[in-house]
Protein backbone atom coordinates (compact mmCIF):
# COMPACT_ATOMS: atom_id res chain seq x y z
CA UNK A 1 0.00 0.00 0.00
CA UNK A 2 2.20 2.79 -1.21
CA UNK A 3 -0.71 5.10 -0.63
CA UNK A 4 -3.24 3.94 1.86
CA UNK A 5 -6.60 4.70 0.28
CA UNK A 6 -9.46 2.60 1.63
CA UNK A 7 -13.21 2.71 1.66
CA UNK A 8 -14.15 2.75 5.33
CA UNK A 9 -17.57 2.30 6.86
CA UNK A 10 -18.55 3.85 10.16
CA UNK A 11 -21.27 2.42 12.40
CA UNK A 12 -23.06 5.02 14.51
CA UNK A 13 -25.28 4.81 17.59
CA UNK A 14 -26.41 7.41 20.10
CA UNK A 15 -27.68 7.47 23.66
CA UNK A 16 -30.09 9.74 25.53
CA UNK A 17 -30.88 12.14 22.71
CA UNK A 18 -32.87 15.29 23.43
CA UNK A 19 -36.64 15.06 22.93
CA UNK A 20 -37.67 17.85 20.55
CA UNK A 21 -41.19 16.66 19.66
CA UNK A 22 -44.13 17.44 21.94
CA UNK A 23 -45.86 14.27 23.06
CA UNK A 24 -43.39 11.91 21.34
CA UNK A 25 -39.73 11.03 21.07
CA UNK A 26 -37.37 12.40 18.44
CA UNK A 27 -36.98 10.83 14.99
CA UNK A 28 -33.17 10.93 14.70
CA UNK A 29 -30.90 10.80 11.67
CA UNK A 30 -27.11 11.17 11.63
CA UNK A 31 -25.29 13.03 8.88
CA UNK A 32 -21.53 12.80 8.20
CA UNK A 33 -19.69 15.87 6.90
CA UNK A 34 -16.05 16.44 5.93
CA UNK A 35 -14.04 19.64 6.22
CA UNK A 36 -13.95 21.28 2.78
CA UNK A 37 -11.72 24.19 3.86
CA UNK A 38 -12.51 27.84 4.46
CA UNK A 39 -14.96 27.01 7.23
CA UNK A 40 -17.14 24.98 4.85
CA UNK A 41 -18.35 21.41 5.41
CA UNK A 42 -19.40 18.98 2.68
CA UNK A 43 -21.86 16.18 3.33
CA UNK A 44 -20.45 12.70 2.67
CA UNK A 45 -23.27 10.42 3.80
CA UNK A 46 -26.23 10.07 6.14
CA UNK A 47 -28.01 7.28 8.00
CA UNK A 48 -31.65 6.29 7.84
CA UNK A 49 -34.23 7.99 10.07
CA UNK A 50 -35.35 6.02 13.11
CA UNK A 51 -38.79 6.92 14.47
CA UNK A 52 -39.51 7.62 18.12
CA UNK A 53 -36.11 6.70 19.53
CA UNK A 54 -33.80 8.42 21.97
CA UNK A 55 -31.16 5.65 21.83
CA UNK A 56 -30.82 4.88 18.12
CA UNK A 57 -28.49 2.29 16.63
CA UNK A 58 -28.41 3.21 12.98
CA UNK A 59 -28.37 0.33 10.53
CA UNK A 60 -26.99 2.18 7.52
CA UNK A 61 -23.21 2.57 7.60
CA UNK A 62 -21.53 5.86 6.74
CA UNK A 63 -18.91 5.57 4.01
CA UNK A 64 -15.74 7.66 3.70
CA UNK A 65 -12.40 7.34 1.87
CA UNK A 66 -9.50 6.99 4.30
CA UNK A 67 -6.02 8.39 3.71
CA UNK A 68 -3.36 7.83 6.36
CA UNK A 69 -1.25 10.76 5.17
CA UNK A 70 -4.04 13.34 5.58
CA UNK A 71 -5.76 14.91 8.56
CA UNK A 72 -9.40 14.28 7.66
CA UNK A 73 -11.65 16.42 9.82
CA UNK A 74 -15.15 15.02 10.23
CA UNK A 75 -18.36 16.28 11.76
CA UNK A 76 -21.23 14.05 12.90
CA UNK A 77 -24.56 15.85 13.22
CA UNK A 78 -27.73 14.34 14.67
CA UNK A 79 -31.11 15.79 13.63
CA UNK A 80 -34.75 15.22 14.56
CA UNK A 81 -36.46 14.67 11.18
CA UNK A 82 -40.10 15.77 11.01
CA UNK A 83 -40.64 15.94 7.23
CA UNK A 84 -39.67 14.24 3.99
CA UNK A 85 -37.39 17.04 2.77
CA UNK A 86 -33.71 16.24 2.17
CA UNK A 87 -32.76 19.70 3.46
CA UNK A 88 -31.85 19.62 7.16
CA UNK A 89 -32.13 23.37 7.77
CA UNK A 90 -35.73 23.08 8.94
CA UNK A 91 -35.07 20.09 11.23
CA UNK A 92 -34.17 20.30 14.92
CA UNK A 93 -30.47 19.87 15.66
CA UNK A 94 -29.90 17.34 18.46
CA UNK A 95 -26.15 17.83 18.71
CA UNK A 96 -22.91 16.89 17.02
CA UNK A 97 -19.20 16.27 17.40
CA UNK A 98 -16.05 17.10 15.48
CA UNK A 99 -13.09 14.72 15.24
CA UNK A 100 -10.63 13.30 12.74
CA UNK A 101 -10.93 10.02 10.88
CA UNK A 102 -7.55 9.06 12.29
CA UNK A 103 -8.96 9.28 15.81
CA UNK A 104 -11.86 7.06 14.82
CA UNK A 105 -9.94 4.25 13.13
CA UNK A 106 -7.24 4.14 15.81
CA UNK A 107 -9.78 3.74 18.65
CA UNK A 108 -11.47 0.48 19.53
CA UNK A 109 -14.51 2.49 20.66
CA UNK A 110 -14.80 6.21 20.03
CA UNK A 111 -17.25 7.99 22.34
CA UNK A 112 -17.79 11.72 22.85
CA UNK A 113 -20.54 13.89 24.30
CA UNK A 114 -22.73 15.63 21.76
CA UNK A 115 -22.66 19.43 21.72
CA UNK A 116 -25.21 21.89 20.40
CA UNK A 117 -22.31 24.25 19.73
CA UNK A 118 -18.72 24.41 20.90
CA UNK A 119 -18.61 24.31 24.69
CA UNK A 120 -22.38 23.88 25.06
CA UNK A 121 -23.46 20.29 25.81
CA UNK A 122 -26.63 18.99 24.23
CA UNK A 123 -28.75 18.67 27.36
CA UNK A 124 -27.00 17.83 30.58
CA UNK A 125 -24.10 15.97 29.06
CA UNK A 126 -25.94 12.63 28.85
CA UNK A 127 -25.96 12.58 25.05
CA UNK A 128 -23.19 10.51 23.49
CA UNK A 129 -22.19 9.07 20.17
CA UNK A 130 -21.24 5.46 20.83
CA UNK A 131 -19.56 2.67 18.92
CA UNK A 132 -18.23 4.58 15.95
CA UNK A 133 -16.19 1.76 14.45
CA UNK A 134 -14.37 1.44 11.17
CA UNK A 135 -14.06 -1.49 8.83
CA UNK A 136 -12.09 -1.65 5.62
CA UNK A 137 -14.44 -2.53 2.81
CA UNK A 138 -12.52 -4.84 0.55
CA UNK A 139 -11.56 -8.46 0.05
CA UNK A 140 -7.98 -8.58 1.33
CA UNK A 141 -7.20 -12.08 0.08
CA UNK A 142 -4.44 -12.59 -2.47
CA UNK A 143 -3.74 -15.59 -4.68
CA UNK A 144 -0.06 -16.53 -5.04
CA UNK A 145 0.82 -18.63 -8.09
CA UNK A 146 3.94 -20.29 -9.45
CA UNK A 147 3.67 -21.67 -12.98
CA UNK A 148 5.96 -23.43 -15.40
CA UNK A 149 5.67 -24.97 -18.88
CA UNK A 150 7.33 -27.91 -20.58
CA UNK A 151 8.13 -28.78 -24.19
CA UNK A 152 6.66 -25.70 -25.79
CA UNK A 153 6.69 -25.31 -29.56
CA UNK A 154 9.62 -23.61 -31.21
CA UNK A 155 8.25 -20.46 -32.83
CA UNK A 156 11.32 -18.46 -33.85
CA UNK A 157 13.23 -19.19 -37.06
CA UNK A 158 16.70 -18.59 -35.61
CA UNK A 159 16.04 -19.41 -31.97
CA UNK A 160 13.60 -20.99 -29.57
CA UNK A 161 10.38 -19.39 -28.35
CA UNK A 162 10.10 -16.39 -26.02
CA UNK A 163 7.06 -17.46 -23.95
CA UNK A 164 4.87 -15.46 -21.63
CA UNK A 165 1.67 -16.37 -19.80
CA UNK A 166 -1.71 -14.66 -19.58
CA UNK A 167 -4.69 -15.24 -17.29
CA UNK A 168 -8.21 -14.19 -18.20
CA UNK A 169 -11.36 -14.25 -16.11
CA UNK A 170 -14.91 -14.43 -17.38
CA UNK A 171 -17.00 -11.33 -16.75
CA UNK A 172 -20.66 -11.38 -15.78
CA UNK A 173 -21.41 -10.58 -19.43
CA UNK A 174 -19.54 -13.70 -20.55
CA UNK A 175 -16.53 -11.89 -22.04
CA UNK A 176 -12.93 -12.70 -21.10
CA UNK A 177 -10.94 -10.01 -19.28
CA UNK A 178 -7.16 -10.02 -18.89
CA UNK A 179 -6.16 -10.11 -15.20
CA UNK A 180 -2.46 -10.98 -15.35
CA UNK A 181 0.40 -11.11 -17.87
CA UNK A 182 3.73 -12.63 -16.90
CA UNK A 183 7.19 -11.54 -17.91
CA UNK A 184 8.68 -12.82 -21.18
CA UNK A 185 11.37 -15.50 -20.84
CA UNK A 186 13.74 -15.39 -23.79
CA UNK A 187 14.77 -18.52 -25.74
CA UNK A 188 13.25 -21.12 -23.45
CA UNK A 189 10.88 -23.96 -24.27
CA UNK A 190 10.67 -25.03 -20.61
CA UNK A 191 10.08 -21.72 -18.82
CA UNK A 192 9.42 -21.26 -15.13
CA UNK A 193 7.91 -17.84 -14.56
CA UNK A 194 8.45 -15.79 -11.43
CA UNK A 195 6.04 -16.32 -8.58
CA UNK A 196 3.31 -13.70 -8.75
CA UNK A 197 0.45 -12.47 -6.64
CA UNK A 198 -2.89 -11.09 -7.75
CA UNK A 199 -5.64 -9.75 -5.46
CA UNK A 200 -8.40 -12.33 -5.32
CA UNK A 201 -10.91 -9.60 -6.13
CA UNK A 202 -9.03 -8.90 -9.38
CA UNK A 203 -8.36 -12.55 -10.17
CA UNK A 204 -11.88 -13.95 -9.83
CA UNK A 205 -14.00 -11.28 -8.13
CA UNK A 206 -13.72 -13.28 -4.90
CA UNK A 207 -15.88 -15.99 -6.51
CA UNK A 208 -14.12 -19.37 -6.38
CA UNK A 209 -16.56 -20.79 -8.95
CA UNK A 210 -15.81 -18.15 -11.58
CA UNK A 211 -14.10 -19.69 -14.65
CA UNK A 212 -10.46 -18.82 -15.26
CA UNK A 213 -9.00 -19.37 -18.74
CA UNK A 214 -5.54 -20.86 -18.84
CA UNK A 215 -4.24 -23.76 -20.82
CA UNK A 216 -3.00 -27.01 -19.29
CA UNK A 217 -2.24 -28.73 -22.62
CA UNK A 218 -1.27 -26.15 -25.20
CA UNK A 219 -3.22 -27.14 -28.28
CA UNK A 220 -2.48 -25.54 -31.63
CA UNK A 221 -5.68 -26.08 -33.71
CA UNK A 222 -3.98 -25.97 -37.13
CA UNK A 223 -1.22 -28.40 -36.09
CA UNK A 224 -3.76 -30.78 -34.59
CA UNK A 225 -5.68 -30.80 -37.86
CA UNK A 226 -2.61 -31.40 -40.04
CA UNK A 227 -0.66 -33.92 -37.96
CA UNK A 228 -2.23 -37.26 -37.05
CA UNK A 229 0.21 -37.97 -34.20
CA UNK A 230 -0.03 -34.48 -32.76
CA UNK A 231 -0.45 -34.47 -28.98
CA UNK A 232 0.18 -30.91 -27.85
CA UNK A 233 2.46 -27.91 -28.16
CA UNK A 234 3.59 -28.10 -24.58
CA UNK A 235 2.12 -28.50 -21.11
CA UNK A 236 1.50 -25.86 -18.46
CA UNK A 237 1.86 -26.93 -14.86
CA UNK A 238 0.77 -24.96 -11.81
CA UNK A 239 3.51 -25.67 -9.29
CA UNK A 240 1.74 -23.93 -6.40
CA UNK A 241 -1.47 -22.04 -5.72
CA UNK A 242 -1.94 -20.43 -2.34
CA UNK A 243 -4.59 -18.04 -1.12
CA UNK A 244 -3.75 -15.78 1.81
CA UNK A 245 -5.24 -12.75 3.50
CA UNK A 246 -3.18 -9.62 2.92
CA UNK A 247 -3.48 -7.52 6.05
CA UNK A 248 -3.69 -3.80 5.48
CA UNK A 249 -2.49 -0.77 7.42
CA UNK A 250 -6.02 -0.36 8.79
CA UNK A 251 -6.08 -3.97 9.97
CA UNK A 252 -3.04 -3.33 12.15
CA UNK A 253 -4.16 0.07 13.45
CA UNK A 254 -7.65 -1.18 14.24
CA UNK A 255 -6.12 -4.30 15.77
CA UNK A 256 -4.43 -2.17 18.41
CA UNK A 257 -1.11 -1.20 16.83
CA UNK A 258 0.18 2.03 18.34
CA UNK A 259 2.35 4.47 16.40
CA UNK A 260 5.09 6.17 18.41
CA UNK A 261 6.36 9.46 17.03
CA UNK A 262 9.86 10.83 17.78
CA UNK A 263 11.43 14.04 16.45
CA UNK A 264 15.13 14.74 15.91
CA UNK A 265 16.17 18.35 15.16
CA UNK A 266 19.46 19.37 13.56
CA UNK A 267 21.20 22.08 15.62
CA UNK A 268 24.52 22.14 13.76
CA UNK A 269 26.30 25.39 12.90
CA UNK A 270 25.66 24.98 9.16
CA UNK A 271 22.07 26.10 9.87
CA UNK A 272 23.31 29.61 10.63
CA UNK A 273 22.95 31.86 13.66
CA UNK A 274 19.30 31.60 14.87
CA UNK A 275 19.31 35.36 15.48
CA UNK A 276 19.99 36.06 11.80
CA UNK A 277 17.10 36.13 9.30
CA UNK A 278 19.29 34.02 7.00
CA UNK A 279 19.35 31.14 9.50
CA UNK A 280 17.13 28.11 9.00
CA UNK A 281 16.40 28.29 12.74
CA UNK A 282 15.38 31.95 12.60
CA UNK A 283 11.78 32.29 13.78
CA UNK A 284 10.00 34.82 11.58
CA UNK A 285 7.71 37.56 12.96
CA UNK A 286 4.72 35.32 12.27
CA UNK A 287 6.29 32.68 14.55
CA UNK A 288 7.37 30.00 12.08
CA UNK A 289 10.37 28.55 10.28
CA UNK A 290 10.88 25.46 8.13
CA UNK A 291 11.66 23.29 11.15
CA UNK A 292 8.39 24.23 12.86
CA UNK A 293 6.34 23.74 9.69
CA UNK A 294 7.80 20.25 9.22
CA UNK A 295 7.06 19.31 12.85
CA UNK A 296 3.46 20.50 12.56
CA UNK A 297 2.85 18.94 9.14
CA UNK A 298 3.96 15.44 10.06
CA UNK A 299 3.03 15.47 13.74
CA UNK A 300 -0.54 16.64 13.19
CA UNK A 301 -1.23 13.44 11.24
CA UNK A 302 0.69 10.97 13.38
CA UNK A 303 -0.60 12.20 16.75
CA UNK A 304 -4.04 10.69 16.14
CA UNK A 305 -2.52 7.21 16.28
CA UNK A 306 -0.87 7.58 19.68
CA UNK A 307 -3.20 7.29 22.66
CA UNK A 308 -1.17 9.18 25.29
CA UNK A 309 0.05 11.94 22.90
CA UNK A 310 3.47 11.94 24.60
CA UNK A 311 6.25 12.34 22.05
CA UNK A 312 10.00 12.22 22.77
CA UNK A 313 11.91 15.02 21.04
CA UNK A 314 15.67 15.33 20.68
CA UNK A 315 18.27 17.65 19.24
CA UNK A 316 21.67 16.81 17.82
CA UNK A 317 24.87 18.64 16.90
CA UNK A 318 24.75 21.37 19.55
CA UNK A 319 26.78 22.35 22.60
CA UNK A 320 24.45 21.87 25.56
CA UNK A 321 24.61 23.58 28.97
CA UNK A 322 25.91 23.39 31.60
CA UNK A 323 29.03 21.53 30.40
CA UNK A 324 28.75 22.82 26.81
CA UNK A 325 29.78 19.44 25.46
CA UNK A 326 28.54 18.53 21.99
CA UNK A 327 25.56 16.17 22.14
CA UNK A 328 23.94 14.18 19.35
CA UNK A 329 20.83 13.05 21.24
CA UNK A 330 19.89 15.58 23.91
CA UNK A 331 16.29 15.98 25.08
CA UNK A 332 14.69 19.17 23.80
CA UNK A 333 13.18 19.70 27.25
CA UNK A 334 16.64 19.10 28.86
CA UNK A 335 15.19 16.20 30.85
CA UNK A 336 17.02 13.05 29.68
CA UNK A 337 15.04 10.81 32.03
CA UNK A 338 11.74 12.08 30.65
CA UNK A 339 12.18 13.54 27.14
CA UNK A 340 8.46 13.35 26.36
CA UNK A 341 6.51 16.38 25.17
CA UNK A 342 2.75 16.71 25.50
CA UNK A 343 1.38 16.65 21.98
CA UNK A 344 2.80 18.40 18.94
CA UNK A 345 2.38 21.76 20.67
CA UNK A 346 4.64 20.45 23.43
CA UNK A 347 7.37 19.68 20.87
CA UNK A 348 7.01 23.14 19.38
CA UNK A 349 7.20 24.78 22.81
CA UNK A 350 10.30 22.74 23.76
CA UNK A 351 12.01 23.69 20.48
CA UNK A 352 11.33 27.41 21.04
CA UNK A 353 12.63 27.27 24.60
CA UNK A 354 15.73 25.26 23.69
CA UNK A 355 16.91 27.39 20.77
CA UNK A 356 18.26 30.37 22.77
CA UNK A 357 19.88 28.11 25.40
CA UNK A 358 22.22 26.09 23.17
CA UNK A 359 25.13 26.78 20.83
CA UNK A 360 24.90 25.44 17.30
CA UNK A 361 27.98 23.39 16.59
CA UNK A 362 28.63 20.04 14.87
CA UNK A 363 29.35 17.59 13.37
CA UNK A 364 26.08 16.28 11.84
CA UNK A 365 25.68 12.73 13.13
CA UNK A 366 22.44 10.84 12.46
CA UNK A 367 23.37 7.43 13.85
CA UNK A 368 23.05 8.24 17.61
CA UNK A 369 19.41 9.30 17.39
CA UNK A 370 18.53 6.47 14.97
CA UNK A 371 20.09 3.96 17.35
CA UNK A 372 18.29 5.62 20.27
CA UNK A 373 14.85 5.04 18.75
CA UNK A 374 15.90 1.60 17.49
CA UNK A 375 16.63 0.50 21.05
CA UNK A 376 13.05 1.30 22.06
CA UNK A 377 11.70 -0.47 18.96
CA UNK A 378 13.81 -3.55 19.74
CA UNK A 379 12.67 -3.57 23.38
CA UNK A 380 9.02 -3.30 22.30
CA UNK A 381 9.46 -6.17 19.86
CA UNK A 382 11.04 -8.36 22.55
CA UNK A 383 8.16 -7.72 24.94
CA UNK A 384 5.70 -9.34 22.54
CA UNK A 385 2.87 -7.24 23.94
CA UNK A 386 0.56 -5.01 21.91
CA UNK A 387 2.20 -4.07 18.63
CA UNK A 388 4.04 -0.77 18.54
CA UNK A 389 5.53 0.92 15.51
CA UNK A 390 8.07 3.75 15.72
CA UNK A 391 8.35 6.71 13.35
CA UNK A 392 11.45 8.92 13.63
CA UNK A 393 11.26 12.34 11.96
CA UNK A 394 14.69 13.87 11.36
CA UNK A 395 14.75 17.49 10.19
CA UNK A 396 18.13 18.55 8.84
CA UNK A 397 19.87 21.08 6.61
CA UNK A 398 21.42 18.35 4.48
CA UNK A 399 24.99 17.79 5.60
CA UNK A 400 25.86 14.44 7.20
CA UNK A 401 29.17 13.46 8.77
CA UNK A 402 28.69 9.87 9.92
CA UNK A 403 27.31 8.43 6.68
CA UNK A 404 28.83 4.97 7.16
CA UNK A 405 27.57 4.68 10.74
CA UNK A 406 24.15 5.94 9.65
CA UNK A 407 23.98 3.33 6.89
CA UNK A 408 24.66 0.60 9.46
CA UNK A 409 22.09 2.07 11.86
CA UNK A 410 19.43 2.07 9.12
CA UNK A 411 20.25 -1.51 8.09
CA UNK A 412 19.88 -2.59 11.74
CA UNK A 413 16.64 -0.62 12.14
CA UNK A 414 15.17 -2.21 8.99
CA UNK A 415 14.71 -5.40 11.03
CA UNK A 416 12.63 -3.52 13.62
CA UNK A 417 9.13 -1.97 13.67
CA UNK A 418 10.46 1.40 12.62
CA UNK A 419 10.35 3.99 9.80
CA UNK A 420 12.63 7.01 9.33
CA UNK A 421 11.41 10.22 7.71
CA UNK A 422 14.00 12.81 6.74
CA UNK A 423 12.88 16.32 5.82
CA UNK A 424 15.64 18.43 4.29
CA UNK A 425 15.33 22.17 4.96
CA UNK A 426 17.21 24.89 3.14
CA UNK A 427 18.88 24.77 -0.27
CA UNK A 428 21.71 22.29 0.38
CA UNK A 429 22.69 19.39 -1.86
CA UNK A 430 20.72 16.46 -0.47
CA UNK A 431 22.48 13.75 -2.44
CA UNK A 432 23.42 11.86 0.74
CA UNK A 433 19.79 11.93 1.94
CA UNK A 434 18.57 10.57 -1.40
CA UNK A 435 21.16 7.82 -1.12
CA UNK A 436 19.79 6.83 2.29
CA UNK A 437 16.30 6.80 0.78
CA UNK A 438 17.41 3.98 -1.49
CA UNK A 439 17.07 5.85 -4.79
CA UNK A 440 20.11 3.98 -6.09
CA UNK A 441 18.79 0.57 -5.01
CA UNK A 442 18.68 -1.42 -1.78
CA UNK A 443 20.64 0.37 0.94
CA UNK A 444 23.65 -1.59 2.19
CA UNK A 445 26.00 -1.14 5.10
CA UNK A 446 29.73 -0.63 4.59
CA UNK A 447 30.22 -4.38 5.03
CA UNK A 448 27.68 -5.09 2.29
CA UNK A 449 24.78 -6.15 4.52
CA UNK A 450 21.51 -5.18 2.76
CA UNK A 451 18.58 -3.57 4.51
CA UNK A 452 15.77 -6.01 5.26
CA UNK A 453 13.18 -3.40 4.24
CA UNK A 454 13.07 0.08 2.77
CA UNK A 455 12.35 2.23 5.84
CA UNK A 456 13.65 5.68 4.85
CA UNK A 457 11.61 8.38 3.15
CA UNK A 458 13.39 11.63 2.23
CA UNK A 459 11.59 14.79 1.13
CA UNK A 460 13.21 18.20 0.44
CA UNK A 461 11.17 20.97 2.04
CA UNK A 462 11.91 23.44 -0.76
CA UNK A 463 9.52 21.57 -3.06
CA UNK A 464 6.64 22.54 -0.78
CA UNK A 465 7.38 26.17 0.04
CA UNK A 466 4.46 27.45 -2.01
CA UNK A 467 2.20 24.43 -1.52
CA UNK A 468 -0.54 23.94 1.09
CA UNK A 469 0.83 22.72 4.42
CA UNK A 470 -0.95 19.36 4.11
CA UNK A 471 0.92 18.64 0.85
CA UNK A 472 4.16 18.10 2.79
CA UNK A 473 2.56 15.62 5.21
CA UNK A 474 0.96 13.70 2.36
CA UNK A 475 4.27 13.27 0.56
CA UNK A 476 6.28 12.54 3.72
CA UNK A 477 3.87 9.96 5.12
CA UNK A 478 2.84 8.27 1.87
CA UNK A 479 5.20 5.30 2.36
CA UNK A 480 4.58 4.68 6.08
CA UNK A 481 1.53 2.37 5.66
CA UNK A 482 3.46 0.18 3.20
CA UNK A 483 6.50 0.10 5.49
CA UNK A 484 4.44 -0.84 8.54
CA UNK A 485 2.62 -3.61 6.67
CA UNK A 486 5.88 -4.94 5.21
CA UNK A 487 7.40 -5.31 8.69
CA UNK A 488 4.48 -7.17 10.28
CA UNK A 489 4.05 -9.34 7.20
CA UNK A 490 7.76 -10.20 7.42
CA UNK A 491 7.30 -11.07 11.09
CA UNK A 492 4.10 -13.06 10.46
CA UNK A 493 2.00 -10.76 12.66
CA UNK A 494 -0.80 -11.00 13.61
CA UNK A 495 -0.57 -14.70 14.43
CA UNK A 496 -4.04 -15.53 13.16
CA UNK A 497 -5.06 -18.85 11.71
CA UNK A 498 -6.80 -17.99 8.49
CA UNK A 499 -10.03 -19.79 7.64
CA UNK A 500 -9.72 -22.55 5.09
CA UNK A 501 -10.94 -21.69 1.62
CA UNK A 502 -12.25 -23.84 -1.16
CA UNK A 503 -9.83 -24.92 -3.84
CA UNK A 504 -9.53 -22.44 -6.66
CA UNK A 505 -11.15 -23.88 -9.77
CA UNK A 506 -9.22 -23.35 -12.99
CA UNK A 507 -11.03 -24.18 -16.23
CA UNK A 508 -8.93 -25.92 -18.86
CA UNK A 509 -9.48 -24.25 -22.21
CA UNK A 510 -7.39 -22.80 -25.04
CA UNK A 511 -5.09 -20.12 -23.65
CA UNK A 512 -2.98 -17.31 -24.98
CA UNK A 513 0.65 -18.44 -24.98
Average pLDDT over residues 331-355: 96
Helix pair 290-302, 343-354: axis angle to 10 deg: 160
Q: Rounded CA gap, 394 and 292, in Å?
A: 12
Higher pLDDT, 419 or 117: 419
Mean pLDDT for the chain overall: 83
HEC readout, 44-75: EEECCCCCCCCCCECCCCEEEEEECCCCCEEE
Which of 310 and 169 is assigned the larger pLDDT? Answer: 310
Residue pair 385/426 in contact (Cβ under 8 Å)? The answer is no
Q: Is the pLDDT of residue 134 over 80?
A: no
Q: What's the pLDDT tens digit per position in 449-499?
A: 999 999 999 988 888 877 777 788 888 888 898 899 889 888 877 533 323
- Is residue 443's pLDDT more than 50? yes
498 compared with 102, residue with greater pLDDT: 102
Rounded CA-CA distance 462/429 in Å is 12
CB-based contact 15:130 (threshold 8 Å): yes
Distance, in Å, from the CA atom of 15 to the CA atom of 8, rounded to the nearest integer, reads 23
The Cα 229–Cα 240 span in angstroms is: 31
CA–CA distance, 41 with 19 (Å, rounded to integer): 26
More confident residue, 140 or 170: 170
d(CA 459, CA 462): 9
Q: What is the pLDDT of residue 129?
A: 45
The model's confidence at residue 441, banded by pLDDT at 50, 70 and 90, is low
Query: pLDDT higher for 275 or 218?
Result: 275
Q: Residue 257 — very low, low, confident or very high, per pLDDT cuts 50/70/90?
A: confident
Name the DSSP letter for residue 463: G
Which range has the top average pLDDT, 220-229, 260-269, 491-500?
Answer: 260-269
Q: What are phi and psi of 469, to 5 degrees?
A: -55, -35
Rounded-to-integer distance, Cα 202 and Cα 26, Å: 45
The pLDDT of residue 209 is above 80: no
> What pLDDT is recorded for position 434?
81
> Worst-scoring range by mean pLDDT, 205-209, 273-277, 422-426?
205-209
pLDDT(132) > 60: no
SS3 label, residue 462: helix
Q: How many residues are given for the chain? A: 513
Statement: residue 340 has pLDDT above 90:
yes
Q: Which residues contact residue 295 at a Cβ distance below 8 angstroms, ignoring those fewer than 6 apart? A: 263, 344, 347, 348, 351, 393, 395
Give the pLDDT band of residue 154 (cuts 50, 70, 90). Answer: confident
Burial code (b: 16+ CB inside 10 Å, e: under 16) for 136-146 equals: beeeebbbebe
Alpha-carbon span 283 to 446, nearest angstrom:
39
pLDDT-wise least confident of 114-123, 265-274, 405-414: 114-123
Is the backbone peptide bond immediately before 322 cis, with ω within 30 degrees of 0?
Answer: yes
Most confident stretch, 333-342, 395-404, 492-501: 333-342
251-260, 352-361, 418-427: least confidently modelled range: 251-260
Mean pLDDT along residues 58-80: 87
pLDDT surpassing 80 at residue 421: yes
What pTM was estimated for this model as a whole? Answer: 0.68
pLDDT tens figures, 86-101: 788 888 999 999 999 8
pLDDT value at position 16?
87
CA distance 477 to 294: 12
Amino acid sequence: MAACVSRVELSVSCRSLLARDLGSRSDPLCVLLQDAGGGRWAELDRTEKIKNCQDPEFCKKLIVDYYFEKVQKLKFGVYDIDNESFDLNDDDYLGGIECTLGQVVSSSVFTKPLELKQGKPAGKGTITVDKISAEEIKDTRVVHLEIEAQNLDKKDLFGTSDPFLEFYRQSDAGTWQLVYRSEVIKNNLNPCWRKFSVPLQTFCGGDFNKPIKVEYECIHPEKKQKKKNYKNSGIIRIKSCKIETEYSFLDYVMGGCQINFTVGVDFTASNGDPKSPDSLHYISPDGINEYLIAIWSVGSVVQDYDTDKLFPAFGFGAQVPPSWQVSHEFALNFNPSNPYCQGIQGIVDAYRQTLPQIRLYGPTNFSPIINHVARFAAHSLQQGAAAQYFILLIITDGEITDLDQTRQAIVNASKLPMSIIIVGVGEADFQAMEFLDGDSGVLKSVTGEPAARDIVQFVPFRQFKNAPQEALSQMVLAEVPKQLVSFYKWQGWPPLKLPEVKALQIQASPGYL
